[in-house]
């Protein structure tokens, strides 16, 4: 069964055939009056939004925000605004401080075709169009189109994940079993990495640690490590000891690499220094049920459980469970992607057509 990519990598549920268990979703906490998307506009009134402030008996408060989202996928933020990719042909921009609407970008000129991943380089927003085999570059300051990259030389084939190292943009091509490297300065091609030696087999997740690029191979049940400086292969990690089973989401905390195993309902922790195994976290107490997206925030790791309609919080220091946030208190409905902005954690609800903002401060 194919999977939803969810770390800065989120294909649409309709495309990949995934559906969270609707019985686990709360029936009385989802949005009922989402505002239709428009080509542009501002949203300064909280009352105009389809929002709901929720408070569990313990843990963070959360706010449900609906702005006509269409299977919202991976969010990305520049600290001031939050950008959300929508299945189909649009990208939504929100004010990160309160969730108000800034604008919805849509139209044929943008080249959006099932946008599945976002990356920010400080000046520009990059959008991977998994359905169009292209990459769209926008200005962060106003959302204006810079260019649409497409063509056989880029080898884009179901581009599903993006990450930036400050100089280059890296693109995981799930359909082509390859990774494309571009110059952030102008979008020009650096190289296309492909071939059996890399171990690419359904590459679906990317993250960089400043020196190395890590690639999650969904179908290969493996993780590939490359040098950022030249794309050279370092190693391919695979084998039962790692617990890789449908690896999708990746994140780094500066010392360790964390891998979400969607099919295995587990999370693997590795040493960034050499890729050695630290531990595999699994078991019912963690609440893992289709874990796909990860976010490292301060001293904690957050895990989005797509099928379980929940988010798990762990301690980065030892992987110990802190809490499992449930849909009954936080309105999760197919949480497929996570992004942190200051003291808030944002979760995209793929089946709830909304985003959730969690306040991480007591």
Per-domain boundaries in the chain: 13-18+51-359
Q: What is the pLDDT of residue 19?
A: 41
Residue 250 near residue 213, CB atoms below 8 Å: no
Residue 5 near residue 11, CB atoms below 8 Å: yes
Q: What is the pLDDT of residue 48?
A: 31
3-state secondary structure of 37: coil
Go through the chain and tell me how many residues it has: 362
d(CA 70, CA 205): 22
d(CA 298, CA 307): 26
Q: What is the pLDDT of residue 181?
A: 98
- Positions in the chain short of pLDDT 70: 1-59, 362
Residue 97 burial (CB count, 10 A): 13
CATH class of the structural domain 13-18+51-359: mainly beta
Torsion on CA atoms 309, 313, 316, 320, rounded to nearest 10:
-110
Write the CB contacts of 85 (distance below 8 Å, at least 6 apart in sequence).
Answer: 10, 72, 73, 74, 75, 91, 115, 116, 117, 118, 127
Q: Residues 77-100: pLDDT tens digits?
A: 999 999 999 998 999 999 999 999
d(CA 165, CA 206): 11
- DSSP code at position 34: P
């Amino acid at each position: 069964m194919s999977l939803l990519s969810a770390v800065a990598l989120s294909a649409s549920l309709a495309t990949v055939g995934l559906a969270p268990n609707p019985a686990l979703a709360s029936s009385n906490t989802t949005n009922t009056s989402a505002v239709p998307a428009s080509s542009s506009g501002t949203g300064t009134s909280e009352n105009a939004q389809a929002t709901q402030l929720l408070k569990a008996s313990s843990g963070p408060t959360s706010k449900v925000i609906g702005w006509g989202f269409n299977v919202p996928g991976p969010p990305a933020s520049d600290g001031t605004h939050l950008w959300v990719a929508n299945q189909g042909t649009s990208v939504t921009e929100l004010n990160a401080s309160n969730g108000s609407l800034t604008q919805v970008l849509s139209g044929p000129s943008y080249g959006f075709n099932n946008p599945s991943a976002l990356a920010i380089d400080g000046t520009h927003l990059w959008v991977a169009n998994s359905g169009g085999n292209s990459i769209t570059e926008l200005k962060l300051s106003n959302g204006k189109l810079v260019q649409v990259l497409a063509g056989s030389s880029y080898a884009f084939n179901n581009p599903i994940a993006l990450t930036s190292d400050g100089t280059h943009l890296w693109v995981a091509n799930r359909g082509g079993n390859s990774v494309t490297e571009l110059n952030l300065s102008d979008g020009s091609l650096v190289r296309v990495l492909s071939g059996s030696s890399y171990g690419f087999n359904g590459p679906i997740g990317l993250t960089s640690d400043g020196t190395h690029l890590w690639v999650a191979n969904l179908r290969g049940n493996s993780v590939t490590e490359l040098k950022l400086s030249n794309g050279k292969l370092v190693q391919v990690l695979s084998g039962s000891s790692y617990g890789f089973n449908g690896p999708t989401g990746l994140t780094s905390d500066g010392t360790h690499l964390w891998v979400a195993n969607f099919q295995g309902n587990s999370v693997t922790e590795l040493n960034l220094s050499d890729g050695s195994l630290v531990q595999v976290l699994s078991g019912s107490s963690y609440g893992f049920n289709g874990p796909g997206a990860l976010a490292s925030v301060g001293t904690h790791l957050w895990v989005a459980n797509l099928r379980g309609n929940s988010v798990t919080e762990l301690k980065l220091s030892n992987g110990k469970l802190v809490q499992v946030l449930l849909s009954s208190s936080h309105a999760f409905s197919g949480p497929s992607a996570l992004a942190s902005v200051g003291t808030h954690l944002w979760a995209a609800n793929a089946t709830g057509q909304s985003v959730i903002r969690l306040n991480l401060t007591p």
